[in-house]
Chains A and B, each alone.
Chain A
Amino acid sequence: MFFKLSFRNMQRSFKDYTIYFLTLVLGVAIFYMFNSIESQTVMMDISSSTREIIKLMTNVLAGVSVFVSLILAFLIIYASRFLMKRRHKEFAIYMTLGMSKQQISSLLLCETFFIGVMSLVIGLAIGIALSQLMSIFVAGMFEVDMTSFEFIFSYSAMMKTILYFAIIYVVVMFFNVFFIGKQSLIDLFMSQRKNEQIKIKNLWLCSFIFVVAVGMLAYAYYLVTAGVATLDNANKIWIPIALGIVSTFMIFYSLSGFALKIMMSKKSMYYKNLNAFTMRQLSSQMNTTVFSMGMICLMLFMTICVLSSGISIKNSMSTELKEMTPVDIYMYKYWDLSHQKDNKKTYTQQEIDDSHIRIDQSLEAVDFSIDDYFKDVFIFNDYATNDLTMKDTLGKAYDDIHQQYPYLKLDTAESIMKISDYNQIAKRYGLETYTLNSDQYLIVGNF
């Protein structure tokens, strides 16, 4: 009977709360797609540098997916609390029939479990289907040809999705059970009446808050657009972010009151047709949903930012990739390892011997002839001394740079090379070449 009851409740939830169910399904699907990107690229014929980038991206995505799951958890808990509120009366009936709180809790557990499993299965199915499309998108993003279309299924992504959502559902169940345990019967019966309580706001205060909030938001936008030059410190970016968040909530809090005030000041408008009714309705609706509207607005904002900055980062990365890597292979090795004093590691005699010969000779020693496999090879030496570090080169600019990039190691030795070597490389990279007299030096930098 209990099973039947919870099953029927679930059926009803399924029908009535389509949005909640869709949220769950979509959440699962997106989460799976997100985490399956890595295995999608396995099938593609891509260069190693691109693979590196994808690996980096996968790491970033793993971090982002934790964030996404947090947002989803928030959303799911919020939605389930909303649904619980609608069911107060039902719980009251169960209790008057003498059901214990444990029984009601287990009924709810059963329901949450059912819905959870169902949304997981459907969500995964949709996620797997959509991730096939995603792989085409990813291939396009990294400008690679898909060698062949293959059905991709990521076991690890699936397990991860199941794990994360299991955790979220457990949290939801915990919340529900906690909620049931806390409520008294009279509150459950009365809650419907309580919810309709209307908060009356001071219209003047609302107007004031609204004006202040609009000012704050405008200032925040000014800071990140026209006034971006003043944001010379990494910590200052939090000012417009905090301003933006606070003012968004303030606007939603005060908007209805402010609009009402404006409308009421023009009596002929306010009492025309159904305007009075419409405005009052609108403002009471907005009053009860201040928090969720603010959240939705901020989340949308974040999504747009992440999406657009993601695309622009991708674009700059791929153009940079083309500019920075005009050669196919770049190999390097250290000279004279026995002198690397600051390095605690001890080297074998063989390694030390190897560090006294040129790189093509070392490769020759392992039966790899550079000339057989590559054309247009250029070998050069790069010198370094602790007497000349980045700090020395920067000179007076050091303090500024250090403040701006506190994590940059500026006591690293600069690299020094012969002008003839530099010119050779510069030609390959399509950069300008220089001539120097015997007592001259040239500093090349991109800062």
Chain B
Amino acid sequence: MMEPILKIENIDKYYGNKSHLTKALSHLSLNVYQGEFVAIMGASGSGKTTLLNCISTIDKVTAGHIFVGDTDITTLKGNRLNRFRREKLGFIFQDFNLLDTLTAYENIALALSIQKVPYQQIDQRVHAMAQALNINDVLDKFPYQMSGGQKQRVAAARALISDPQMILADEPTGALDSHSSQMLLASLKQLNDKLQTTILMVTHDALSASYASRVVFIKDGQIFHEIYRGHQERKIFFEKIIDVVTMLGGK
């Protein structure tokens, strides 16, 4: 059995102060292996985004440990933390978070410039990535000139370009129409298969989740259930997801 790329060990996350304590995550453990595409589902307030924020080092856990490879990311600080974010992680957000002063090309290239990659390589890699995500035509456009779907694919390109170990996506299809969503997810799935990049995606949409290879359901800060796609048809997998969602919602 191979070592998990992401090992979450018994983490807790509390919010608030002495009088108001909210338990967002409690005793949660999860292992993710290289090349997996994991969707995290759950109702609003179930702690799914908190979980992603903790993994992505945006937020800090109250207790427990998260290992990426051999590194315990809960203890990372300063430049080692920046380096970790820069080299190991790629982010995709619901609202794209592109820099509106830069063109699509520059937005994608920035991720590499921060890593001080030489320009010739940047150019080559940006074009290759644009090809894969079908955004060649919009490279010279500014974010405000693009559609939501294009923006999200640019954001995906930015996240993938530095060849990270993990892509962390927070409701990537939340602001997209169903066509754009499917295009994006298909591209992500394809890159996941090809590059063996691990993807962690938070979503509340069963259709989006059906592109994943595994779906983890969270309820009240704990893992409630998980299902693997295996070799099933996506449509069948989708129906299975719907069943669990119904069960979750119906209590």
Interface residues of A (CB under 8 A from B): 1-2, 4-5, 8-9, 11-12, 89-90, 92-93, 95-101, 103, 184-186, 189
Besides the contacts A97-B86, A100-B82, A101-B82, what 16 more A-B pairs have beta carbons closer than 8 Å?
A1-B110, A4-B102, A5-B102, A5-B106, A5-B110, A12-B101, A95-B82, A96-B58, A96-B85, A97-B158, A98-B86, A99-B114, A100-B78, A185-B59, A186-B58, A189-B58
Bound form: Cα–Cα A2–B102 in Å: 11
Q: Which residue of A lies closest to B113 (CB)?
A: A1
Specify which chain A residues have a CB less than 8 angstroms from the CB of B158 in the assembled complex: 97
Total cross-chain contacts (CB, 8 A): 65
A363 to chain B, nearest CB (A): 76
Specify which chain B residues have a CB less than 8 angstroms from the CB of A184 in the assembled complex: 60
Specify which chain A residues have a CB less than 8 angstroms from the CB of B85 in the assembled complex: 95-98
Bound form: Cα–Cα A429–B147 in Å: 86
Specify which chain B residues have a CB less than 8 angstroms from the CB of A98 in the assembled complex: 82-87, 89, 111, 114-115
Q: Write 21 A-B pairs (CB below 8 A) sorted by A numbering.
A: A1-B106, A1-B113, A2-B113, A4-B102, A5-B99, A8-B102, A9-B101, A11-B101, A12-B100, A89-B97, A96-B58, A98-B82, A98-B86, A98-B115, A99-B86, A100-B78, A184-B60, A185-B57, A186-B53, A186-B58, A189-B58
- B73 contacts the other chain (CB 8 A): no
Bound form: Cα–Cα A264–B156 in Å: 51
Specify which chain B residues have a CB less than 8 angstroms from the CB of A99 in the assembled complex: 82, 86, 114
How many interface residues does chain B have, given as a range? 20 to 34
- B6 contacts the other chain (CB 8 A): no
Bound form: Cα–Cα A12–B100 in Å: 9
Which DSSP category, helix, strand, loop or mixed, fits chain A's interface?
Answer: helix
B26 to chain A, nearest CB (A): 19
Instruction: Given A96-B58, A97-B86, A186-B58, decide whether A90 and B114 contact each other with a Cβ distance below 8 A.
Output: no
Q: Which residue of A lies closest to B115 (CB)?
A: A98
A108 to chain B, nearest CB (A): 14
A126 to chain B, nearest CB (A): 27
Residue of B86, B89, B101 ringed by the most chain A CB atoms within 10 A: B101
- B56 contacts the other chain (CB 8 A): yes
Bound form: Cα–Cα A90–B85 in Å: 16
Q: Is the CB of A97 within 8 A of B110?
A: yes
Q: Is the CB of B101 within 8 A of A96?
A: no
Residue of B82, B106, B109, B158 ringed by the most chain A CB atoms within 10 A: B82
- B19 contacts the other chain (CB 8 A): no
User: Contact mask B34-71 → A, CB, 8 Å, 1/0?
Assistant: 00000000000000000001001111100000000000
Q: Which residue of B lies closest to A2 (CB)?
A: B113
Bound form: Cα–Cα A99–B111 in Å: 9
Specify which chain A residues have a CB less than 8 angstroms from the CB of B58 in the assembled complex: 96, 185-186, 189
Q: Which of B76-96 contact A (CB under 8 A)?
A: 78-79, 82-87, 89, 91
